[in-house]
Amino acid sequence: MDPEITEITVLPGRDKNGMQETFDRIVIRPGETLSIVGPTGSGKSALIGDIEIFAREDTATGRTVLVNGGMPPEDLVRDPSKKPVALITQNTKCLADLTVQEFLSMHVRSRRIERDGIVAETIALANEFTGEEITAGARMTALSGGQTRSLMVADAITIGNTPIIILDEVENAGIFKDRVIETLRAYGKAVIFVTHDPLVSLMCDRRIVMRNGTVTKIIERDGEEEKALAAIRKMDGILSALRERIRAGESITEAAFAS
């Protein structure tokens, strides 16, 4: 197996006006969760792009991204099966016209994984992230957006065994985001969310605030926002339950926020 990834380090570059960024370094370790927030055009995608390709002052931002404190070896950057970062976006698609079982088996074969039951385990894990059940015989191309992303996250955890997972604005896609975060934490994954979602932002250990192409602030989860987080979690639960009931065709006759 490849050497273990203990940390990824982002070194500063320049903002959109060419000014040096003010943060010293951002270090991401397994088990940590990080959110990236900021208005459209503030540089969120550029930041995850830098991480995804291990920038070395050769991107528009001029940032450098290190693995375990040094320049990553080339095969780690170039071979997707060795790359320690999996990026899942709203645009990420499964194009293969295969069943879920065949699709995951294809990935298992390409990784030369011998362990029995890994496909079933992946499907079971994916089903923890979505309310719409994914079956082994379903066709990949017929899955909903939420099912697809749930399966991709599960695939990155089990078959991909990727230490760092970047999720780019996937919160509105019908997945149980709090369960995704808890599960990824439990598996010791480092997770980076690009998000506008209050629950996801506040659940993360750190929140990186972007503006004008640069990191302007890093907010640590230090307990100050816990009350707000509890309230957001409750509201999110109410909305999720309502969503399921509307999906089931129910009339919502009582005051929804009465509880």
Partner 1 sequence: MKLIVIAGPPSAGKTAVVRQIVRNLRATAAIAYLKIDVVRAFEDEELKEEFGIPARKVYSGDLCPDHAGIMVMRDAIAWAAGEGADILIVESAGLCLRCSPYLTQSLGIVVISAVSGTHAPLKMGPMIALADVAVVTRIDLVSQAEKEVFRERILEVAPGIEIVETNALQGTGMRYLIRRIEETGEIEDEDTIEVRGVPPLGVCTICVGKKEIGWQRHFGVVRKLDSADWIFRGD
Q: Is 159 among the residues that bind partner 1 (CB under 8 A)?
A: yes
- Give the one residue of 93, 179, 217, 243 binding partner 1; rule: CB under 8 A: 93
For partner 1, what does the binding mask look like between residues 34 and 73, x meaning CB under 8 A?
---------------x--xx--x-x---------------
Shortest Cβ distance from residue 241 to partner 1 (Å)?
Answer: 30
Q: What are phi and psi of 188, to 5 degrees?
A: 75, 25
Q: For residues 192 and 164, what is the distance between their CA atoms, to the nearest angstrom?
A: 8
Judged by CB under 8 A, the chain residues 2 through 21 that form the site for partner 1 are none
- Give the one residue of 61, 162, 195, 201 binding partner 1; rule: CB under 8 A: 162
Q: For residues 63 and 186, what is the distance between their CA atoms, to the nearest angstrom?
A: 30
- Which element (helix H / strand E) includes 106? helix 100-110
Bridge partners (DSSP) of residue 210 are: 215
Q: For residues 159 and 121, what is the distance between their CA atoms, to the nearest angstrom?
A: 10
- The per-residue DSSP string of 140-190 comes to GGGS-HHHHHHHHHHHHHTTS--SEEEEES-TTSS--HHHHHHHHHHTT-E
Shortest Cβ distance from residue 205 to partner 1 (Å)?
Answer: 24
Judged by CB under 8 A, the chain residues 118 through 157 that form the site for partner 1 are 152, 155-156
Q: Which residues bind partner 1 (CB under 8 A)?
A: 49, 52-53, 56, 58, 78-81, 86-89, 91-96, 103-104, 106-107, 110-111, 152, 155-156, 159-160, 162
